[in-house]
Amino acid sequence: MKHLEVVAAILEYDGKILCMERGRGKFDYVSFKYEFPGGKIEPGEAKHTAIERELREEMDVHVSVKESDLYMTVHHDYPDFSMTMYAFYCHLDKPDFVRKEHVDAKWMAPEDMPTLNWAPADVPIMKKLAGK
């Protein structure tokens, strides 16, 4: 089974967290589900550099991330692949971004995030943020 190493950003502004909805993808079980933005780590790339690059490419968001900003690591097995996701906590100074790859985005209070339909790998992060 293919194994992916990915990074995700918990983008926080004014106490709210940015939740991004995926569009239709290759796999139905993650299509139109909410997630924390991010993507695959390139070979030889540091995790914090990967999250900075992904946010620039996907959303025109420029952040400075340190390895010490790691919030949690999730291991998840999907039917077609497994993944290790490193989620980094990133405070934003302004709530501006460009939605290039997602079909929807919502700024939500952490306690309200469980009302969304999350991609399974993102659920443990969402639950920890929401205090569930």
Q: What was the pLDDT predicted at 114?
A: 98
pLDDT tens digits for range 87-121: 999 999 999 999 999 999 999 999 999 999 999 99
| Cα atoms in the Cβ-side hemisphere of radius 13 Å centred on 108 | 20
pLDDT tens digits for range 2-32: 999 999 999 999 999 999 999 999 999 999 9
The per-residue pLDDT of the chain, averaged, comes to 96
Helices (H) and strands (E) in the chain, counts: 2, 7
Q: What was the pLDDT predicted at 28?
A: 93
* Average confidence (pLDDT) over 30-53: 97
CA proximity to 86, closest of 38, 127, 120, 130: 38
* Average confidence (pLDDT) over 24-52: 96
Q: What was the pLDDT predicted at 132?
A: 87
107, containing H or E segment: strand 104-108
Task: Compute the Cα dihedral for 43, 29, 18, 114 and give only its sign.
Answer: negative
* Average confidence (pLDDT) over 52-68: 95
Q: CA-CA distance, 130 to 81, in Å (whole number)? A: 27
Q: What percent of the chain has pLDDT over 90?
A: 98
Whole-model pTM: value is 0.95
Confidence of residue 78 (pLDDT cuts 50, 70, 90): very high
